[in-house]
Structure 1
Amino acid sequence: MSYFRKNEGTIVFTLASLAFIAFYCINYCFRRCRNRDVALAAGDTEEAVLSPIRPPRGLDAKGVQSIPSFIYTEANGIGPGHGELVCAVCLNEYKEDEMLRLILPCGHVFHVDCVDIWLSYRSTCPICRADVIVDPVY
């Protein structure tokens, strides 16, 4: 019996394993490229699709304090037709003379105490996930 006949099973197994690994790698690359193309077609920018996901990072106290706040009154324009009357963080209605914080650029409004806790962990709006704009002077 020749040397080749003794190792024929090992050679076949090795070639089959290599073919399987090559197929898996090609399939993975194809699916990844297709997902990227779908995301780009949906309107995502190429930078957003290709950039790594950044870990959530909050604002420091000075950054949070630089976001506009105001005292709620029914006369100041928040109400039916102007926005929600409920804080999306705690789900309580806004009451007269409560301090609220206006998130820019989206314009969503929250209780100061509620959104300040959120912003200490994440620098996005709790509703729409828009990046919060802070006063650059702070």
Structure 2
Amino acid sequence: MASSQDSTQQPFHWHYSGFEDKSFHFHGRALLLIIILFSLLILFTLLCLYARWVCRYRHHSAASPSTNAAAAAPEGAAAGLDLATINSFPTLLHRSSSSDEQAQCSICLCSFRYEEKVKVLPDCNHAYHPECVDEWLSSRSSCPLCRASLRVDTPTPTPTPTPTPIP
């Protein structure tokens, strides 16, 4: 019985003549699908290139501080502090209070060394290297860490009323 089943089942034979290039054709929906997929691929590539260009353009415009500082500052007002105000902030020697907690300059991210000069900003008492904070304050008028305003508004003198003579 086994011999009769083997004779009815024929082994699979490859016909290599069916795999010729002449018989490989796209028709109808398959051709339309290939064209649509290729078009979507090109569109996606162009969108990625455009997004990359936009990101570079924004990064480039954000890197030029002269245009941004002029746009952000109100008319007639300087963006940073004047040199006399910057030099009026106290410069002290850094003394570490504990060995496990190291203080660092938030601008350059370097740790303060023992008895290194640091400039302390008023009100917020944040300390920085004098070179770092002087450059920062020449273009901005706020603390780099907490953004507290360091601009000292001079009070405008109020005019005293002059007595009018009575005739």
Normalised TM-score (structure 1): 0.49
Larger RCO of the pair (alpha carbons < 8 Å, separation 6+)? 1
Normalised TM-score (structure 2): 0.41
Larger Rg: 2
